[in-house]
Amino acid sequence: MAKALSGNFQDKLIVAMVVALMMAVGGVGYLYGQLTAIRGGTVLGGDDKQVVQAPTAAAAPAPTNVDEATWQEVMKNGVAERGSGDAKVTMVEFTDFQCPYCKRHFDETEPLIVKDYIDAGKIKYIVHDLPLPFHPNAHIAAEAARCAADQNKYWEMHDTLFAKQDEWANSSDPKSAFSDFAGEVEINVANFDACVASGKHKQAVDDDLALANKAGATGTPTFVVNGELLVGAQPYASFQAVLDKALSQ
């Protein structure tokens, strides 16, 4: 009798252990699904089969309006501008020369905007500075671009700073690289170096920072098209939609 009871107890114990193991496996699956959801993925399928689907890219945020008084201020005193002065649409960029997303916009999207809208005479394009505080060389780069502008070479320096961003962005002596760039864009290097060293344009860059904050531009690149904000290195199609909308109004 004792042996029968012992065997019966062992059978029940085995069954209980199997049930507990199954519950544990189910619990792990549930927790995995919850963790995946928290990270942005979606769990598809039933309890016996789960497939993890990677999150899709978030849609570009809809532009928001800048108040009219601020917009009028934004259109004044830009670092530089190009395009048609009579254009019905004005596009403003707040940029940071050390920002990798600004470089991506420069590399991938800006050439298309220049070709289809600026050179075509459809829009006026204005640049303002927004050197972010965690980019230690961005402020002095903005000053350097303005020193080049003093010799009518802003766009040449603008393009060189972005094209060669990796040569100076993390340098402990970016002014040396800027001096080399000045020679490459064929301006008076001695005058350029003196301008950068003097801090001549520091206040102007600081004024742009204050204006950016007033306009709601807190990250780079930020664009304003006829008073509407478009934030980030958006694909060309996003700019087409906003610019064509403004041109049609």
Q: Of 23 and 45, which is predicted with more confidence?
A: 23
Angle made by CA atoms 206, 209, 212, in degrees to the nearest 5: 155
pLDDT over 50 (residue 71):
yes
Instruction: State pTM to two decimals.
Output: 0.74
Q: Is the pLDDT of residue 56 over 60?
A: no
CB distance 84 to 135 below 8 Å: no
Q: Would you state the pLDDT for residue 11?
A: 54
Asked whether 209 and 130 are in contact (CB, 8 A), the reply is: yes
How far is 231 from 46, CA to CA, in rounded Å? 40
Q: Distance between CA atoms of 68 and 112, rounded to whole angstroms?
A: 28
Q: Could you tell me whether strands 80-83 and 89-95 are parallel, antiparallel, or unpaired per DSSP bridges?
A: unpaired
Strand pairing category for 228-231 and 222-225? antiparallel
pLDDT single digits (tens) 146-198: 999 999 999 999 999 999 999 999 999 999 999 999 999 999 999 999 999 99
Query: Distance of CA 202 to CAs 23, 24, 86, 144, Å?
Result: 66, 63, 31, 10
Cis status of the peptide bond prior to 221, with omega within 30 of 0: yes
68-248 maps to CATH 3.40.50.300: no
Domain boundaries, the chain: 2-53, 68-248
Average pLDDT score over the chain: 82
Which pLDDT does position 55 carry in this prediction?
Answer: 33
Q: Which has more confidence, 65 or 166?
A: 166
User: Measured between alpha carbons, how far is 146 from 81 in angstroms, rounded to an integer?
Assistant: 13
- Is 79:71 a contact under the CB 8 Å cutoff? no
Number of Cβ atoms within 10 Å of the Cβ of 31: 10
Question: What are 128-145's pLDDT values in tens digits?
Answer: 999 999 999 999 999 999
Is residue 210's pLDDT more than 60? yes
